[in-house]
Structure 1
Amino acid sequence: MPRRIQRIRNLFTKSIPGLQQEDVAAESSHTSTHRPTNRSTNRSTNRSTNRPPLEVLYPSPNLGVNNNIEVDIVAVHGLGSNVDWSWTWQDKKDHRPPVHWLKDPNMLPSVVPHARIIAYNYESRWHAHAPKIRLELCGEELVKSLHNFRTDTPERPIIFIAHSLGGLVVLHGLLYADRTEKLKYLPASTVGFAPLGTPFRGTKRQNLAKKVAWLMAPMGSHDGIITDLQQDGKHLADEVHAFSQLRNKLDIPTTCFFELYDSDYGKKIGLAGLAQGRVVEEESAHIPGWGREPLHTDHFKLNKFEGPDDRSFQAVSSELRDMCANRKRVIDRRQQITRDRHFMVPFGRNDNFVGRDTTLEQLLETVPPSANKDDCQRTAIEGLGGIGKTQIALETAYQVRDRYPDCSVFWVPAVDLASFENAYREIGRLLQLPNINDEKPDVKALVKMGLSHRNAGSWLLIIDNADDTNILFTSANLIDYLPFSREGSILFTTRNHEVTVKLDIPQGNSIAMPKMNDNDAAELLRIGLKESQVKDAESIRRLLDFLTNLPLAIKQASAYMALNTNVTVSQYLEFCESSNTDLIDLLSRQFEDRHRYKGHAKIQNPVATTWLISFDHISQRNPQAADFLKFICFLAEKDIPLSLLPVTSKIKMAEAVGSLKAYAFILERDTPDSFDMHRLVRLVMRNWLQREGQWEEWATKVVQRLTKEYPFPKHENRETWTKYLPHGQEVVKITGATTTGEETALLFNIAESYTFLGKYSEGEWLYRQTLRLREEVLGKKHPDTLGSMNNLALVLDQQGKYEEAEQMHRQTLRLKEEVLGKKHANILASMNNLAVVLNRQEKYEEAEQMHRQTLALREEVLGRDHPHITRSINNVARTLGCQGKYKEAEEILRLGRGRPGAVTSMDHLAEVIRSDGKYEEAEKLLALKPA
């Protein structure tokens, strides 16, 4: 190895926690029986693939089998070190033999004589000829090796002692074992953990180590094993957090030892004092809440003790002795906790539970009783029926059971008084409460008292479907029977935000169930379906969007397709989009779900039934809110203005809207004066109105309200009518809703709105509907009917449907003449409009005559100075110009100069003169135009 690289290696392998030269302890000769004859032999033997991963250091095989072994102590060295020298002390200035404190008869074996001491041997190099490996893999190999090694004594207690990064190897190993069914017994058998200078928060020198690994890459160095050491890195923090929960669950005695002295890195390359500092700072070497003890040494001597009188050895060995002595008590306590703990949950674990990671993490930080030792905290999951509240509460229950073995979990449905009392009675029997089996016990009071007593231990009480404010706060007043214990915690699921407020749950503990994201929704849909049913990705996206990613609706769809295996996602989507009747049929179908309630009249699987239960609650508590829901289900689902709701007092409106928001039937927008309605809620509500015979009543109320509020569209009120337009459009689709002449004004105004926006085809359809209804209700000669005819003709003209427009204008003109006479001002507009459409069809002579006739009648009826006179003059001139009669056009336009609207006439005159070749005169005329 080149001298420069050797020096870099010596410096940096000593500056990274646990990364040590493999031959440091062998710098001078010594007489230990385990010392290899030379360095090359040491290196070769230590790296031999034939060397077993676990080696017994004490008792020596030469002493025979020791039947008095009561505990296994497993030592794990740091990375970059080796199993032979990691635990050996030697001072090269001292001629005493090296001391291996794990197997020296005067050291640890004398302190814990009934312990079997084992060294874990694994490939830990990183700086030369290193395999590409990670800490997790080292940990997995550790527990797998222990599993294979301890076949005769699998239940024997284990204590781990680890130097530096070896502590992270133990951490990863126990986590892996806890997540692997056949290895779960290993963490359950662990009765002690003593990490020596383990960087639980990583190290500031990780980037330096990566650079050295890069520099030494030609020699086989990798940075894979040091990737996990980033200071306060998220991955390591997550694993330490998970291990803390495992440790708390099993109550593993743990003492973290940390260095008090700086390490001199430069001394390792003969440059003492060049680089000094703590390798692992105190805040990284222990976790808050764990045992901690300082050692009067530096990082490189945390795992090396010179003799029985070494005070660091005395501190470490004393902890190990206590762990050995208390092993039985620790195991017995775990078993007692397991025996006394109760798990009363009516459903099995949902193996198909997907997503909700953020919400689940938030719950698991909030609901365990240990999260707040000074209170019996209350937490609520809020959301629309079918959004997955019960399912996430169920997963929370199982995770609390797994992570906190001393915590009992009780599940209580609060859908009605009977279900609540039945669950409380079962809790009382599990707790063996006195008098619980009496003929007429006060079950609720007994259980409240039982769970409030400190003898009940740690518990989580889940109150599911806490929606009905009547039984919770009024008639049965169930809130009075909620227990209080500082070792307890209560989790509610509710559709009603009002419940959360009345329970006095702080905002930080109120968790609104978010919409399921697209990936999780797609995964939920695919469960149980054949690949051939879900191969169309676009159909999946559209179906999930149609179902608004609602878990219950997705589960219902999946269950239907699983039962009808010939139905694909695209076909199911077609069923949903074909008609509201088919969709309601699908949303109302029962389906098998083992993780939801059965046999209860108020708790059903179908989406439609689930929401109608909430509607029933609203109807009882706030009839005004129920009426609002009946009303708005006829409107568009987005951006519903409060100003369109039926008139009531401001207080009642605020309370009613608040109730609908509390049940998530309507959703807040950024602006406070409008809201959205859930698409499927609107559909279910419409179906309910039809089923209950209330459809026509509420359809008529909606049309009447919009007729009153929807203004005739003008530029000045554009903000209002553009906001009302989508709702008006939705309302006019209601069959049979508009039956009176007054209400057809709504159709007319909406048609005008479309025309104003240039959406002529939409306007045409509405004008035709308006005309048909007005003819039926008001008769063909009613002024409003004639107005609809005129506007329909205009919108036909705008679309280039000139022949139909001409016929409609002629019919309108004829009927107006019959009703109003030939000289009425209203007739003049029809004459003008007919002339315009004639001109568009190049029927210039007839158009000219009609415009001249209109001009003459306007002068007679309106007077020569009326602005409409100028308009007729321009129209006559334009028709003459189309025929090439420029002189006549010029003459008639000059007549219009000086009249109201003359500016337009001057423009037109200049255009006519230019068309006649008089360019200079046209320019002069335009120069005279007012600025």
Structure 2
Amino acid sequence: MSTTDSTDPAKLLQPRSTAVANTEFGNHTNLHQGDQNIGQSNVHVTYNYGTWVSQNASFDYDGDQSSGACWTVPFGRNKDFIGRELVLNRLLEIIPPDADKDDCQQIAIEGLGGIGKTQIALEAAFRIRDKYKDCHVFWVPAIDISTFENAYREIGRALKIHGIDDTQADVKQLVKAALSGCNNKWLLIIDNADDVDLFSTNKAALSNLLPFSLMGSILFTTRNDEVSQKLDIRRESIIRLSELGRSEAVEMLQKGLSAHQISDIQSMISLLDFLADLPLAIKQASAYMVKTGIKVTRYLEYCSSSDERLIELLSKDFEDRARYKSTDARNPVATTWLISFNDISRSKPLAAKYLQHMSLLAEKNISKHLLPLDDEMEAYEAIGVLRAYAFISERAEKGSYDIHRLVRLVMQNWLVKEGGLKICSTSVMQRLSIAYPHPDHANKDAWTKILPHALVALKYQEHSSDMEARLRVMYDVSRSILLLGRYKDAEQLWRQTVDLYTTALGIEHPYTLASRSSLAKALYGQGKNEEAKHIHQQTLELRIKVLGAEHPDTLLSRTNLANTLYSQDQYKEAEKMYQQTFELQVQVLGAEHPNTLFSMYNIASVAYRQGRYKEAEQLFQKTLELRVKVLGPEHHDTLFTMNGLAIILYLQGQYKEAEQIFKQTLALQTKVLGIEHPGTIYSIYNLACVSYRQGRYEEAEQLFQQTLELRCKVLGPEHPDTVSSSEKLELSKKEQVLGAEDPELLLSRESLAQCTKEQVFLAEHSNMLLSQAVDSDTVISRENILLGKKEIDFFGLLQNIYSFIYLKLCSTTP
């Protein structure tokens, strides 16, 4: 910087200074990083200010601070300001002008619209004023170039800069020069610096109108991290805001409300969950409740009644003295975000497209691969824009993102109102139909990550114009839910799928028939055997007609129908059909084909049910060896075969051998299927039985307890297992009155053993559900009675006790 008097910026602010023309100053924009440029040899950067002093403007600033520091903050102090002390403490460490003697600090507060950036900056301004009596504090809304210039004019008037109200004056350059040469401390707060175009690198950009002085600091608030990047603010000087802590959120919600409005603490907590602890949303809710006098409970009912009602509430304006009154800076949360969205739509259309796309997916863990395919660099830039606005956040697992819950809701509403739902829903369905792998147990990790997003997208499927993509996603999702053992949910999805395929392809199309078969399996899994049998019978007849009697799918239908006969204790009929199917599969598919091995397993199962244990053991052993060879030791079908073999060993009194296999099976099923799969739950039950039989009662009790809790959660109170438990509970009550060996009770126990539906394993492979017996105590009870033994049915008694716990759990589960 020149040291001559005519180019010394400090003289511009001397009292009653003379006119100045064609002045040249050091370019502060290259110095705001302090030591990065200062001290480098042979570096000299200048900037010509002649354009704005050509009218011989002069300055009349009173440098004497006895009259007090200047203050142009347009808001009063927010007496209801809550929390954020850690943020404020950090801010007050770095924004005082003397915090860095070698630089003019630039600090940014970043965060989602409505997160509380302006309120923190406002509180910081008052605290700086209170602590530094001689420090000027200036406030500039950077909503657009007009609000920026008007605020600069107010600063010029406060500093008494001559010519500031001259119609020919360049107000922005005048104020820049004045603050750059000011000998007193100052803090400049530039609020709502969201438009990255206003802070670009061209000569007219606002970034070129920022003063530089070692006596000053500049604090920005912005929704857009790109602005911070354009301004080259150091990462250490950026404070990123998140939602309020729960205690702070509770305190904010309670402000202004009467005691009777907030009497329900649980409703208050639930409401804050809905509002995602977002300050502006909380204040908006509180203002509405103050205005209407309704309780938190009623407001929560409004929010939870529908997404449309919540959007309506988020769109209501409210009075807030600490927010701008212009039409472009209105209060409601929804409006606040839509302004940012419109900015994105203009500057980065692909980012706007991605945000719309994400709004029709689940809010958590959205993989980049679920977004429309575009140039990789363009895609990363678009995602960067959404992250910069805090609409989305990147997870620790790179390439995976979360969308803010309320932002997602606002975008869904925008798509409906603006007529964009059809295009967006079609795009989402098309992308999911490509990204979703054909679900099987082997690739469970892959499809379970996509499943939550597909379930959300299916809510909007009727808006999609791509029927092929819609059919594919519907089928894959329904199959996935069936594989997870969620039979009730699977039933609802498969009914929709069957209707969709029937309408689109006709009732005899192979895909329609496959969907009908899967629907029957979902019914079978819930014990709705008659309806399942009816659908399997119809499907078999149609497959014979369309595909032929020996087609692999037809043979699967024969197996499915035999399964329903098996579940209804029609063992001879089921065995005959299993045997016929097995012989045809050997001819058509080969002896080691997975479907052939299913039939071999079923024949073993039906032999066991008819008491032919040795025969069943040999068949299970042979099936297990072939499945290990063909499918591998961890395949879910191999695991079910291990369980079947263990049950046969158990029934023949080989407890230690059975227990070893049960433990191996349970460990592998937990790994492959998950702890809540019905097959895994039954393995826990089997292990409990064998532990009890060997006298390890405490261990058995824990396993029974775990089984009952999982059954109640997964299968529900209406499942046949629950019904069976209810009947056994009634028997337990009679035992307490009559005694365990009373003749009437023995007859009741025999009747119960004969009429109670036996529990089954349910497994799915290649569109086939297999029934597998596990209710060992029922079998043992029947044997004891038929042999005339007086041995007490200890498994039945034990089940009585746990049935009571089971029913109690079910009755208290939401």
With normalisation by structure 1, the TM-score equals 0.59
Which residue of the other structure, out of 145, 151, 161, is the alignment partner of 1:423? 151
- Which residue in the other structure is 2:85 paired with? 357
Instruction: Map 1:616-765 onto structure 2 (within 5 A).
Output: 616-737=342-463, 740-765=467-492
Q: Deviations over 1:684-730 (max 9, x none)?
A: 01111111100111011001100110001234423221211111121
Matched, 1:404 2:132: yes
Instruction: Map 1:101-250 onto structure 2 (within 5 A).
Output: none
Shift of 1:867: 5.9
Q: Alpha carbons of 1:834 and 1:396: their partners in 2 closer, same or farther (altered >3 Å)? A: same
Q: Is the 8 A contact 2:438 2:476 kept in 1?
A: yes
Which residue of the other structure, out of 467, 480, 483, is the alignment partner of 2:211? 483
Structure 2 counterpart of 1:751, which letter?
S
Q: Is the 8 A contact 1:865 1:899 kept in 2?
A: no
Matched, 1:779 2:506: yes
Shift of 1:617: 1.6
Structure 2 counterpart of 1:720, which letter?
A
Shift of 1:859: 4.2
Q: Which is greater in Rg?
A: 1
Which residue of the other structure, out of 154, 163, 182, is the alignment partner of 1:454? 182
Which residue of the other structure, out of 565, 576, 586, is the alignment partner of 1:849? 576
- Which residue in the other structure is 1:184 paired with? none
Instruction: Map 1:560-571 onto structure 2 (within 5 A).
Output: 560-565=288-293, 567-571=294-298
Shift of 1:907: 11
Shift of 1:902: 11
Shift of 1:894: 12
Q: Deviations over 1:394-415 (max 9, x none)?
A: 1111111111111111111000
Q: Alpha carbons of 1:586 and 1:810: their partners in 2 closer, same or farther (altered >3 Å)? A: same
Shift of 1:847: 1.9
Q: Deviations over 1:885-912 (max 9, x none)?
A: 789x689969989995699999989998
Query: In structure 2, how many angstroms separate the alpha carbons of the residues matched to 1:536 and 1:659?
Result: 40
RMSD: 3.1
Q: Deviations over 1:744-799 (max 9, x none)?
A: 22122122222222222222222222111111111111111111111111222222
Structure 1 runs not aligned, ≥5 long:
1-333, 927-931
Q: Deviations over 1:100-152 (max 9, x none)?
A: xxxxxxxxxxxxxxxxxxxxxxxxxxxxxxxxxxxxxxxxxxxxxxxxxxxxx
Shift of 1:869: 4.5
Structure 2 counterpart of 1:558, which letter?
S
- Which residue in the other structure is 2:779 paired with? none
Query: In structure 2, how many angstroms separate the alpha carbons of the residues matched to 1:666 and 1:881?
Result: 57
Higher helix share: 2
Q: Is the 8 A contact 1:529 1:561 kept in 2?
A: yes
Q: Is the 8 A contact 1:410 1:462 kept in 2?
A: yes
Q: Alpha carbons of 1:726 and 1:742: their partners in 2 closer, same or farther (altered >3 Å)? A: closer
Q: Alpha carbons of 1:573 and 1:701: their partners in 2 closer, same or farther (altered >3 Å)? A: same
Q: Is the 8 A contact 1:387 1:552 kept in 2?
A: yes
Quote the sequence identity (%).
Answer: 49
Secondary structure in 2 matching 1:602 = helix
Which residue of the other structure, out of 492, 512, 534, is the alignment partner of 1:807? 534
Shift of 1:521: 1.1
- Which residue in the other structure is 1:504 paired with? 232
Matched, 1:554 2:282: yes
- Which residue in the other structure is 1:342 paired with? 70
With normalisation by structure 2, the TM-score equals 0.67
- Which residue in the other structure is 1:576 paired with? 303
Q: Is the 8 A contact 2:199 2:231 kept in 1?
A: no
Shift of 1:743: 2.6
Matched, 1:441 2:169: yes
Which residue of the other structure, out of 533, 548, 552, is the alignment partner of 1:821? 548
Q: Deviations over 1:434-469 (max 9, x none)?
A: 2212122111111111111235x2211110000101
Q: Which moved more, 1:525-534 or 1:469-478?
A: 469-478
Query: In structure 2, how many angstroms separate the alpha carbons of the residues matched to 1:494 and 1:441?
Result: 29
- Which residue in the other structure is 1:585 paired with? 312
Shift of 1:548: 1.1
Query: In structure 2, how many angstroms separate the alpha carbons of the residues matched to 1:390 and 1:901?
Result: 66
Secondary structure in 1 matching 2:328 = coil
Shift of 1:426: 1.3
Q: Alpha carbons of 1:558 and 1:877: their partners in 2 closer, same or farther (altered >3 Å)? A: closer
Q: Deviations over 1:578-622 (max 9, x none)?
A: 101100100000000001000x23211000000111111211221
Q: Is the 8 A contact 1:866 1:900 kept in 2?
A: no
Number of residue pairs matched?
A: 584
Q: Is the 8 A contact 1:337 1:405 kept in 2?
A: no
Q: Is the 8 A contact 1:596 1:605 kept in 2?
A: yes
Structure 1 counterpart of 2:366, which letter?
I
Query: In structure 2, how many angstroms separate the alpha carbons of the residues matched to 1:873 and 1:376?
Result: 81
- Which residue in the other structure is 2:341 paired with? 615
Structure 2 counterpart of 1:857, which letter?
L
Query: In structure 2, how many angstroms separate the alpha carbons of the residues matched to 1:686 and 1:763?
Result: 26
Q: Is the 8 A contact 1:465 1:492 kept in 2?
A: yes
Secondary structure in 2 matching 1:344 = coil
Q: Is the 8 A contact 1:346 1:411 kept in 2?
A: yes
Matched, 1:374 2:102: yes
Query: In structure 1, how many angstroms separate the alpha carbons of the residues matched to 2:650 and 2:391?
Result: 66
Query: In structure 2, how many angstroms separate the alpha carbons of the residues matched to 1:891 and 1:487?
Result: 90
Structure 1 counterpart of 2:100, which letter?
N
- Which residue in the other structure is 2:13 paired with? none
Query: In structure 2, how many angstroms separate the alpha carbons of the residues matched to 1:912 and 1:437?
Result: 98
Q: Alpha carbons of 1:469 and 1:866: their partners in 2 closer, same or farther (altered >3 Å)? A: closer
Query: In structure 2, how many angstroms separate the alpha carbons of the residues matched to 1:603 and 1:401?
Result: 26
- Which residue in the other structure is 2:563 paired with? 836
- Which residue in the other structure is 2:790 paired with? none
